[in-house]
Chains A and B, each alone.
Chain A
Amino acid sequence: GAVVSQHPSWVICKSGTSVKIECRSLDFQATTMFWYRQFPKQSLMLMATSNEGSKATYEQGVEKDKFLINHASLTLSTLTVTSAHPEDSSFYICSARAPGGGGYTFGSGTRLTVV
């Protein structure tokens, strides 16, 4: 079945630095990937839709200059949290839609802690 790989699984960074999270579709091509953020004991909130070869579409209230998304190939999307602050600490999850109108497959998530 469709597999989405996300790395790293966890990362700790200092306040003010930037962190890059990778999302790869391993056995299929994904023209569209999605990035979610999940705070403890809360639901997944869609941050942006990543489109291969074009600009990402951000949800209302998400700062595009802070959360940089690059979808340079059909199998890789990256999310860079720039100038991270403690309030950016969260669980970040990517997903992609399997080909042929299949369901959405999610990565295993990245636990970001900003200290």
Chain B
Amino acid sequence: GENVEQHPSTLSVQEGDSAVIKCTYSDSASNYFPWYKQELGKGPQLIIDIRSNVGEKKDQRIAVTLNKTAKHFSLHITETQPEDSAVYFCAARADSSASKIIFGSGTRLSIRP
């Protein structure tokens, strides 16, 4: 089955700087890669996603890149703000009828004022 690894587990950046979180996946059949932001005591919220036929996607300060050959995908947050502090999860879904998504281990992002 699919296995998703995520790094780093914690990340602290100065407000205004950029943050990068990286993930790798194991199943070459995976075709959908969402990123979620989770605040304390709440469910995950989708912030951006990318499909396997696209190499990069951007939405304002957030961008995701995908390298299918290397089975890597990354989240980039620019001009970080205090409200970006949260736990971020990458995930992957294999192209199968199960349609289930598997999560990475999470990155706790802290924005220093």
Contact = CB atoms under 8 A, between A and B. Distances in A.
Interface of A: 6, 32, 34, 36, 42-46, 49, 57, 93, 95, 97, 103-109, 111
28 contacts: A6-B43, A32-B99, A34-B101, A36-B103, A42-B105, A42-B106, A43-B103, A43-B105, A43-B106, A44-B44, A44-B89, A44-B103, A45-B103, A46-B101, A46-B103, A49-B98, A103-B34, A103-B46, A104-B34, A104-B46, A104-B101, A105-B46, A106-B43, A106-B44, A106-B45, A108-B42, A109-B41, A109-B42
Interface string B48-92: 010000000000000000000000000000000000000001000
A43 B89 contact: yes
A32 B49 CA distance: 20
Q: How large is the interface on B (under 10, 10 to 19, 20 to 34, 35 or more residues)?
A: 10 to 19
Contacts of A42: 105-106
